[in-house]
Amino acid sequence: MTKQATPTPSRAGAEEASSTGVIEKETVETADRAQLQREHEEKKAEQKGRIEELDAETLLKLLHQMILIRRFEEKCAESYSLGKIGGFCHLYIGQEAVAVGALAAIREDDYVLTSYRDHGHALVRGTSPDEIMAELYGKASGCSAGKGGSMHLFDAEKNFLGGHAIVGGQIPLATGVAFASKYKGTDQVTLCFFGEAAVNQGAFHESMNMAQLWRLPCIYICENNQYGMGTSLERAMSLQDVSQKACAYELASEFIDGMDVLAVREVVARAAERARKHYLPTLLEVRTYRFMGHSMSDPGNYRSRAEIEKYQERDPIKLFTASLREKNILDDNRLAEIENEVREAIEHATRFADESPEPDPKELYTHIYANQ
Amino acid sequence: MAVMTMREALNQALREELQRDEKVFLMGEEVAAYQGAYKVSKGLLEEFGNKRVIDTPITELGFAGLGVGAAMVGLRPIVEFMTFNFSILATDQIINSAAKMLYMSGGQYNIPIVFRGPNGSAFQVSSQHSQAMESWYAYFPGIKVVMPSTPADAKGLLKSAIRDDDPVIFLEQERMYGNKGEVPEDEDFTIPLGVADVKREGKDATIVARSLMVPVALKAAEELEKQGVSCEVIDPRTIRPLDIETIINSVKKTNRVVIAEESHPFCGVGAEISAEIMERAFDFLDAPVRRVSGADVPMPYAKNLEKLAIPDINTIVKAVREVAYLD
């Protein structure tokens, strides 16, 4: 299968970002190192152009958040293999720049909803790693009192309205949250994250239509990691240019490289302004990649080594670290400090989760109805 | 008290609650400009404007989910399904989102929303437009299910449903919209959810009936009275939470039960009530619990076949006579 013969403007970026697609997977066994290096340099040059807009403290905070997610998820993988975490556990490794960049562009009183791959969003939103890890461990001190687990992290204090585990289910919900902001006359915006597989669901299309029809301040962020579980985009979507789907509903849309945290931030900031000032929704297609399987039980045999290597070379943390170093914002000492802070936070979270009690058996029958 | 139709009583409840609470809004297909497919929302657009009374596209999953999302952040949506047959498209959002949200968020997000509209059979609208959906929704913890049978109950229960902090499935009945009855006009008149009503007192047999079957059961009780059988008619009014105590107390008095329902029998609400009676009052029963249900077939179009598919006075009379061992 080949790409479209005449790429659209939004698609052009995608072609560049992943010019190889399925064909390479079938014909090339290992990645072309020189080519990957050239791409890395190009992306870095682009990202460095954006660095000027932010102060060093903000930039380092973004890096800190990305590393926090990466290490947190690595710890989750370890804890899962030890049997400390059960059920389904979907890791965010490789996609960190999306949540970090997007959430850096909105206010604390804005709303965030996402899918079951939700650890990263919750961490960046400010839910404590302690409470998230405790939730994964099924403990009473978890951010959803041990009743939601990995796929259902919630934090009302942070306006984090959850991880939702039916593909696309959060899209109408987010549309309703945005509807409420407009109804109440506030200027809060809602960010709704979902994977590209959700785009094939009716819930996505019904929401796009209502959002534009009623001008709702919702930003739909499609994290296109190119696989719905084990099924590649090519095998599941007739028109693979997700951002183009917006045309059907006259929605504003943009395509962004999801490996560049600053690019994501910039585009989401633009969409947020549109939503805040004019009550207009936006669909963003953020091209990214998950380095791990779909969930902890997925060995990921459907992807070639070359493809994974290619994206690892485009690792958002690696890219951002290199850009910051070249701009003299980051050095070895500062990076080591960040890694240490992150390690301590995760060790604390793991200890907290381990030592927290399980939910009291009587909690089985609480929270079913509001006024019990 | 004023005499009015079920339609008018529902309209009054909507109007009063829209007046009372700015957070309440009504949305659905044809609820605004068209005044409601069954005119339940007549005059509301004019009075409250298009911010509070909202016509939606035909997009049930979408607007049901939109309502749930709005409820997460403090609004109190009333979502009308033109009929509950169409709610089938929205079940993902009703069941996976609304019913589960409070629990899976560890108590952080309750969902104060009402999904309402006609349920069950209408007049010759065939298989896809005649379904009674109560057992689907009553199955799930986290949802409340209400089925009024009189104009007064409709008003009082709808007002309570709108004020309730949980998702409520409010099932009306198209055949009953024109039924008349006395309705209190007091704006504070409400009927609590989860409380059954004894629609008729009796001593020889209990008929548990809901929605469309309540007036049918009352007429059957009149007929049976003439035949020397005194029937108590219990209307649970709320299916979940179910006021089983009132039913059990009646069974302990009469020792015989017939459950009348418009819905299919298999895995139905009648089966649940029957099981509860068996578990709680087996020793009081003088005859097996008997269900009178809608036929276990898709609803046919032909008038004569449709009539055969819905329980009527005669089928209820016959069932009561059976449990009373009169035939």
CATH number at residue A348: 3.40.50.970
The predicted structure's pLDDT at residue A31: 72
Interface with chain B: mutation pick from A115, A153, A154, highest number of B CBs within 10 Å = A154
Is residue A197 classed exposed, middle or buried when 0-12, 13-18 and 19+ CB atoms within 10 A define those classes?
A: buried
The predicted structure's pLDDT at residue A245: 96
Q: What is the pLDDT along chain B (327 residues), one digit of tens a residue?
A: 999 999 999 999 999 999 999 999 999 999 999 999 999 999 999 999 999 999 999 999 999 999 999 999 999 999 999 999 999 999 999 999 999 999 999 999 999 999 999 999 999 999 999 999 999 999 999 999 999 999 999 999 999 999 999 999 999 999 999 999 999 988 899 999 999 999 999 999 999 999 999 999 999 999 999 999 999 999 999 999 999 999 999 999 999 999 999 999 999 999 999 999 999 999 999 999 999 999 999 999 999 999 999 999 999 999 999 999 998
Facing A173 at nearest CB: one of B65, B74, B144: B65
Q: Is residue A26 part of a domain?
A: no
Does B215 share its domain with B136?
Answer: no
Q: Is residue B189 part of a domain?
A: no
Q: Is residue A146 part of a domain?
A: no
Q: Is residue B327 part of a domain?
A: no
Query: At B246, which CATH number?
Result: 3.40.50.920
The predicted structure's pLDDT at residue A372: 76
Cβ contacts of A366 within 8 Å, gap of 6 or more: A372, B107
Query: At B55, which CATH number?
Result: 3.40.50.970
- Give the Cα separation of B36 and B40 in Å (integer): 6
Q: Do A176 and B66 touch (CB under 8 A)?
A: yes
The predicted structure's pLDDT at residue B59: 98
**Number of Cβ within a 10 Å radius of residue A4:** 13
Round to the nearest angstrom and report the end-to-end CA distance of chain B: 43
Q: Do A207 and B67 touch (CB under 8 A)?
A: no
Contacts for B213-219 with beta carbons within 8 Å, 24 or more apart?
B213/B149, B213/B260, B213/B261, B213/B262, B213/B311, B213/B316, B214/B149, B214/B150, B215/B149, B215/B176, B215/B179, B216/B260, B216/B311, B216/B312, B216/B313, B216/B316, B217/B260, B217/B316, B219/B313
Does B170 share its domain with B299?
Answer: no
Q: Which tokens hold the place of A47?
A: 């990202």
Task: Extract the residue ranges of chain A whose pLDDT is less than 70.
Answer: 1-30
Q: Do A368 and B144 touch (CB under 8 A)?
A: no
Instruction: Identify the H or E element spanning A161.
Output: strand A160-164
- Whether the CB of B88 is below 8 Å from some CB of chain A: the reply is no
Output the CA angle A286-A292-A296, nearest 5 degrees. Answer: 120
Residues of chain A found within 8 Å of residue B110, distances taken between Cβ atoms: 370
Residues of chain A found within 8 Å of residue B168, distances taken between Cβ atoms: none
β-strand pairing of A160-164 with A111-115: parallel
Q: Is residue B80 part of a domain?
A: yes
Conformation bin of residue A318: beta by default, left when phi > 0, alpha when psi is -120 to 50: alpha
Task: Determine the distance in angstroms separating the CA of A186 from the nearest CA of chain B, rounded to an integer.
Answer: 12
The predicted structure's pLDDT at residue A213: 98
CA nearest to B51 within chain A = A183
The partner residues of A195 in beta bridges, in order of sequence, read A223
Q: Is residue A335 part of a domain?
A: yes
Q: Cβ distance B320 to B229 under 8 Å?
A: yes
Closest Cα to residue B256, out of B199, B207, B311, B222?
B207
Q: What is the 3-state secondary structure (H, E, C) of B212-268?
A: CHHHHHHHHHHHHHHCCCCEEEEECCEEECCCHHHHHHHHHHHCCEEEECCCCCCCC
Q: Cβ distance B242 to B144 under 8 Å?
A: no
- Whether the CB of B194 is below 8 Å from some CB of chain A: the reply is no
Q: Do A169 and B65 touch (CB under 8 A)?
A: yes
Residues of chain A found within 8 Å of residue B145, distances taken between Cβ atoms: none
Q: Do A177 and B107 touch (CB under 8 A)?
A: no
Instruction: Tell me if the bond preceding B241 is cis, omega within 30° of 0.
Output: yes
- Give the Cα separation of A143 and A83 in Å (integer): 20
Q: Do A203 and B65 touch (CB under 8 A)?
A: yes
Task: Determine the distance in angstroms separating the CA of B108 from the nearest CA of chain A, rounded to an integer.
Answer: 6
Does B14 share its domain with B105?
Answer: yes
CA nearest to B241 within chain A = A369
Chosen domain end from B134, B151, B183: B183
Closest Cα to residue B149, out of B197, B116, B189, B195?
B197
The catalytic position among B60, B262, B272, B306 is B60
Residue B60 annotated among the catalytic residues of the structure: yes
Q: Do A142 and B106 touch (CB under 8 A)?
A: yes
Supply the range of the domain harboring residue A253. Answer: 32-110+166-354
- Give the Cα separation of A53 and A225 in Å (integer): 27
Instruction: Identify residues of A whose CB sits under 8 angstroms from chain B CBs.
Output: 111, 113, 142-148, 152, 154-156, 161-162, 164, 166, 169, 171-181, 183-184, 202-203, 206-207, 209-210, 213, 366-371
Q: Is residue B190 part of a domain?
A: no
Residue B129 annotated among the catalytic residues of the structure: yes
Residues of chain B found within 8 Å of residue A164, distances taken between Cβ atoms: 97
CA nearest to B64 within chain A = A172
Task: Determine the distance in angstroms separating the CA of B64 from the nearest CA of chain A, rounded to an integer.
Answer: 8
Angle between helices A261-278 and A96-103 (to 10 degrees): 40
Does B37 share its domain with B167?
Answer: yes
Q: Do A144 and B63 touch (CB under 8 A)?
A: no
Q: Is residue B192 part of a domain?
A: no
Q: Is residue A99 part of a domain?
A: yes
Residue B169: strand, helix, or coil: strand
Task: Determine the distance in angstroms separating the CA of A127 from the nearest CA of chain B, rounded to an integer.
Answer: 14
State the complex-level ipTM.
Answer: 0.97
Specify the number of domains making up chain A.
1
Does B89 share its domain with B170?
Answer: yes
Q: Is residue A39 part of a domain?
A: yes
The catalytic position among B16, B129, B262, B306 is B129
Specify the number of domains making up chain B.
2
Chain A to chain B Cβ contacts (< 8 Å): 145
Burial A93-106 (b: 16+ CB within 10 A, else e): bbbbbbbbbbbbbb
The predicted structure's pLDDT at residue A29: 59
Q: Is residue B220 part of a domain?
A: yes
Does B215 share its domain with B307?
Answer: yes
Q: Is residue A179 part of a domain?
A: yes
Q: Do B108 and A144 touch (CB under 8 A)?
A: yes
Q: Cβ distance A222 to A194 under 8 Å?
A: yes
> CA separation (Å) from A248 to A224, A245, A253?
19, 6, 11
Q: Do A368 and B59 touch (CB under 8 A)?
A: no
> CA separation (Å) from A261 to A16, A102, A285, A343?
18, 8, 14, 22
Task: Determine the distance in angstroms separating the CA of A179 from the nearest CA of chain B, rounded to an integer.
Answer: 7
The predicted structure's pLDDT at residue A371: 84
Supply the range of the domain harboring residue B66. Answer: 2-183
- Give the Cα separation of A277 and B265 in Å (integer): 55
